[in-house]
Amino acid sequence: AGRAVRQAVSLALAAFIAAQSVPIVANLLSERQAMNASFGSLAPWHFVNTYGAFGSITKTRTEVILQGSAAEALGADDAMGWREYEFPCKPGDVDRRPCVITPYHYR
């Protein structure tokens, strides 16, 4: 009985995802694609994703700044001793050589 239930749930889920994917595939195959568009009444729940040549581009970029210190006893208000660690291939020191590792694209 358990196997039949799992198969029924899997088939129902596959049918649901296939039905939700129809407008997305139709958009991909059309000559006039709608870029970065959501399709269907269930789009806010993101059951299926659209794919386009261009992602959403924002005007600001939020970056994480990781700081650390080698001191054993250092208060949070003590600015001396704290150092920013730079992530590889991320924006940072303008004097640093650019990161180029093909064929990968670091984000």
Chunked in runs of 10, what are the mean pLDDT values of the chain (107 residues)? Answer: 93 93 85 77 75 67 82 64 81 80 72
Per the CB < 8 A criterion, the answer to whether 20 and 48 are in contact is: yes
pLDDT tens string 39-49: 777 777 777 77
Q: Report the alpha-carbon distance of residue 47 to residue 17 in Å, rounded.
A: 7
**pLDDT value at position 52?**
58
Q: Which amino acid is at 91?
A: P
Q: Which amino acid is at 60?
A: T
**pLDDT value at position 16?**
92
